[in-house]
Structure 1
């Protein structure tokens, strides 16, 4: 009485048009992931690779800066820990991954 009958519509004749329509709806999403990869993920992987190679090359006598801002000279290197000398006969043991920067040799003499 108040509700009319609903009939199904016929399928579209051209299947190519619906395929192209689906691709255009996903194109911005795919483009967004590509941009995110090149702007965020790839540079972060590059920095992590450089940090790992710096930690592997760490040796006795190198001058370093820790994440806390402590400058020191490397005295001893273990697998996970590094002992640095921050003043004469003052040694600090830090985790290897807390070393952020290697300084050029002779930097601490000028300080």
Structure 2
């Protein structure tokens, strides 16, 4: 087995690692950045802990989310804790 074989073998392994590990992470980060850029006050959100709430304030890296119907539970959390956003119906 020559040196050319080993070089091709290493290139194939690196390409395989790229397509299985690095590329999906980049897509996930891009999707998350797009999600955060579309975030607005009044949007309903789902957090990583499974709670549903409504955004009442947004800062650079945190959001204040209001949980429940009594309007007394307001919790500041990092934007990264938000998994899903649902826009309110415009009717």
Match of 1:75 in 2: 56
Measured after TM superposition, the shift of residue 100 of structure 1 is 1.3
SS of residue matched to 2:7 = helix
Structure 2 portions without partners, runs of 5+: none
Q: TM-score normalised to the size of structure 1?
A: 0.71
Kindly indicate whether residue 66 of structure 2 is the aligned counterpart of residue 103 of structure 1. Answer: no
Greater relative contact order (CA < 8 Å, ≥ 6 in sequence): 2
How many residue pairs end up in the alignment?
Answer: 87
Structure showing greater radius of gyration is 1
SS of residue matched to 1:60 = coil
Measured after TM superposition, the shift of residue 105 of structure 1 is 3.2
Which residues of 2 match residues 1-111 of structure 1 at below 5 A? 21-87=2-68, 88-89=70-71, 90-105=73-88
Q: Distance in 2 between matches of 1:83 and 1:47?
A: 24
Q: Distance in 2 between matches of 1:105 and 1:38?
A: 37
Structure 1 portions without partners, runs of 5+: 1-19, 107-111
Structure 1 segments (4+ residues) deviating >6 Å: none
Describe the superposition over 1:34-92 as per-residue Cα deviations: whole angstroms up to 9, x where unpaired.
01111211111011011011112210011111111111011111111101111121211
Higher strand share: 2
